[in-house]
Amino acid sequence: YPRQIEVLNIYGNKEDGSKSDGSVSVASAQSYKYLINGRAKSYHEIEIKGKNAQHSKLHENEEVDHLLIDFLWK
């Protein structure tokens, strides 16, 4: 894994009791941190909550858009 990579892990939690975005569990999304532990330059993890945190809706979520813009350009 390239050590100069900065990672932003955005995942969803519909908060409907499933502890998932409808497709991927929160635990699975969070496990990525352990896979790259100590290998990436930085690692940031952000949980999006609510009905717009569904897996297929994350790419349409304005909060996600702002997080990506900040991560890529700031």
Per-residue pLDDT of 6-17, as tens digits, reads 999 999 999 999
Is the pLDDT confidence value at 37 over 90? no
pLDDT number for residue 15: 97
Q: How far is CA 34 from CA 26, 31, 44, 57, 68, in A?
A: 14, 5, 12, 26, 22
The pLDDT of residue 6 is 95
Mapped onto helix, strand or coil, the DSSP state of residue 43 is: strand
Average pLDDT for the chain:
96
Tell me, yes or no, whether 74 lies in a domain.
no
Mapped onto helix, strand or coil, the DSSP state of residue 52 is: helix
Q: Considering the domain boundaries, does residue 38 fall inside one?
A: yes
Count of Cβ atoms closer than 10 Å to residue 46 Cβ: 12
Say yes or no to pLDDT of 44 above 90: yes
With beta carbons less than 8 A apart as the criterion, state whether 37 and 2 touch. no
Domain assignment present for 51: yes
> Is residue 66 assigned to a domain?
no
pTM for this structure?
0.91
55 pLDDT band, cuts 50/70/90, is very high
Instruction: Look at the chain and report how many structural domains it folds into.
Output: 1
In a domain, 44, yes or no: yes
Q: What domain range includes position 42?
A: 6-61
